[in-house]
Structure 1
Amino acid sequence: MCSVTAPTDELTVEFAGEAFTVGPDAVFTVGREGDLAIDDNLFLHRHFLTIENVQGLWLLSNVGSRLAATVTDSGGRVQAWLAPGARLPLVFAATAVIFSAGPTTYELTISVAEPAFRETQQLEHDDGLSTIGDVPLTHSQRMMILALAEPVLRREGTGMSELPTSAQAAERLGWTLTRFNRKLDNVCDKLDRIGVPGLRGGVRSYATNRRVRLVEHAIAARLVTRNDLPLLDLERESAAADDD
């Protein structure tokens, strides 16, 4: 349950240990250039996201032409897909924004001191590690996701991470590439069937895009967490023992 309060006059954007304060009369730009110049990554738009206060409500807009972002509350209970041309109100005390450009995944946090909606009752929910909605994940499917998300999970706070290729992630687990790709296919198909966007694409871009989109969704939905990372070494040891 949520109660409605008046929004604050200021907003804070955090990325890679830096904090930026945005006033109500400013338009804050995120991209390769702008108020938050994230990276010189040529896959990233010069101007990708904007944040502005419109009639007392903070709005996050995607002003890019190709990339999308995953937007979630701090508890991972609400998740939105911000496509090019879309905009979304920032109504929570803390909002995580996760997006990828090429093989690099970025995460920033937007905080509002007096959010439009404030949670007044703790919601009961499962840990989100074994299922996404009503779709069960096997242990090996979770390990596949964990191997791809490892660089993001090991990062302290917000910032950027280079995602592994399928071959690198398979090696991390001690699996063959064929087995890894089969698990990746299965998970992407399952999530696509329940409506998770961005897991299907053209033949030329599908292989890369589905990996980065899967990691975005897994992090935003708390499908895997830092507490799961020790399982990677156990999985590799198990795979090595099976080969003996």
Structure 2
Amino acid sequence: MSIAAAGADELVVEFAGEDFRVVPGDVFRVGREGDLIIDDNLFLHRHFLTIENVEGLWLLSNVGSRLRATVTDSASRVQAWLAPGARLPLVFASTSVIFSAGATTYELTIHIAEPTFRETQQFDDDDGQSTIGEVPLTPSQRVMILALAEPLLRRDGTGMSELPTSAQAAKRIGWTLTRFNRKLDTVCDKLDRIGVPGMRGGARSYATNRRARLVEHAIAARLVTREDLPLLDRELESQPPVDDEAD
């Protein structure tokens, strides 16, 4: 079904090249089972997300018990972390939902024909520096994030991608694992200081979780985009790297 053909009171979920129409009165379920069967990934809940219309307002709910999702509007002006048990109103014409289960990251897009929020003029920074909030990133830190996010950026449209390990990402750009992990620690510390959740390790936090959360945030915040991918080959060609490069 064409997204443009959706009725005024309908919602369309786009995933991996397929469109799913949702009408008021339906409860649309996303997970290993449901209306949108994402994957047979055992790290993914049987029922993870639901979408329903309540008194004229579309709501996205996390009905899982462990996984979280990053939710952002198409222009990346608003970003939320949807925890288990939480629900969020869908007010934008286009909303991206990104989440990870194990080493796989997924993205789906939700389209509303008549959104509550209307777009206004958008302004872009012209200083050429990538920022998240007030935190600047160096070129090497940006390349590090890009190496982790490459599989998600290369696939066409929404869908799923396998998250590389730190060793695989480091090899992709010709870095040592020590250098890569140092950059990763620095970026995660910066993001943690401005309140981005999931950047801190701990007794119950795994390395995969931190990398997945970083990729989710980077994609949602447009910290790296598909147009940045040539930077990876440029970095690889610039070898040998200087291991003690300052952040």
| TM tier relative to shorter chain | over 0.9
Superposed displacement of residue 203, structure 1: 3.3
8 Å CA contact retained: 2:97, 2:107: yes
Amino acid at match of 2:111: S
User: Any residues of structure 2 matched to 1:81-92 within 5 Å, and which?
Assistant: 81-92=81-92
* Equivalent position of 1:238 in the other structure: 238
Map 1:127-142 onto structure 2 (within 5 A). 130-142=130-142
Aligned to 1:110: 110
Q: Deviations over 1:142-161 (max 9, x none)?
A: 01000000000001000000
Q: Which amino acid aligns with 2:137?
A: L
How far residue 126 of structure 1 moved from its aligned partner, in angstroms, is: 2.2
CA contact (8 A) 1:129 1:224 kept: no
The code of the aligned residue for 2:170 comes to: A
| Displacement after TM superposition at 1:123 (Å) | 2.2
Structure-1 residue corresponding to 2:123: 124
Match for residue 60 of structure 2? Answer: 60
Describe the superposition over 1:13-45 as per-residue Cα deviations: whole angstroms up to 9, x where unpaired: 010011000010100000010000100000000
2:129, 2:136 within 8 Å by CA — same for their partners in 1? no
Matches within 5 A, 1:60-79: 60-79=60-79
Given that 2:174 and 2:241 are in contact with CA atoms closer than 8 Å, whether structure 1 keeps it comes out as no
CA contact (8 A) 1:30 1:36 kept: yes
- 1:173 Cα shift? 0.7
Structure 1, unaligned stretches of length 5 or more? Answer: 1-6
Counterpart Cα distance in 2 of 1:82 and 1:129: 28
Secondary structure of residue in 2 paired with 1:50: strand
Closer/same/farther in 2, CA of residues 110 and 136 from structure 1, 3 Å limit: same
Aligned residue type for 2:41 = N
Cα distance in 2 for residues equivalent to 1:94 and 1:133? 22
Letter in 2 for 1:45: H
Structure 2 residue runs of 5 or longer lacking an equivalent are 1-6
The alignment partner of 1:110 has SS state of strand
Amino acid of the structure 1 residue aligned with 2:166: S
Q: 1:59 to 1:233 in 2, by over 3 A?
A: same
Q: Give the drift of 1:129.
A: 5.7
What CA distance in whole angstroms lies between the structure 1 residues aligned with 2:155 and 2:118? 28
Asked if the contact 1:170–1:180 (Cα under 8 Å) also holds between the matched residues in 2, the reply is yes
- 2:208 aligned with 1:212, yes or no? no
* TM-score, normalization by structure 2: 0.92
Q: Distance in 2 between matches of 1:69 and 1:35?
A: 18
Taking the aligned partners of 1:79 and 1:141, their CA distance within structure 2 comes to: 21
Per-residue CA distance 1:211-244 (angstroms, 9 max, x = gap): 000000000000000111001001011123769x
Q: Are the counterparts in 1 of residues 25 and 53 from structure 2 also a CA contact under 8 Å?
A: yes
Q: Distance in 2 between matches of 1:8 and 1:92?
A: 14
- Cα pair 1:129 1:223 within 8 Å, conserved: no
For the Cα contact (< 8 Å) 2:98–2:107, is it kept in 1? yes
2:4 maps to none
The answer to whether the Cα contact below 8 Å between 2:52 and 2:58 also exists between their aligned partners in 1 is yes
In the alignment of these two chains, the number of paired residues is 236
CA distance in 1, matches of 2:11, 2:219: 23
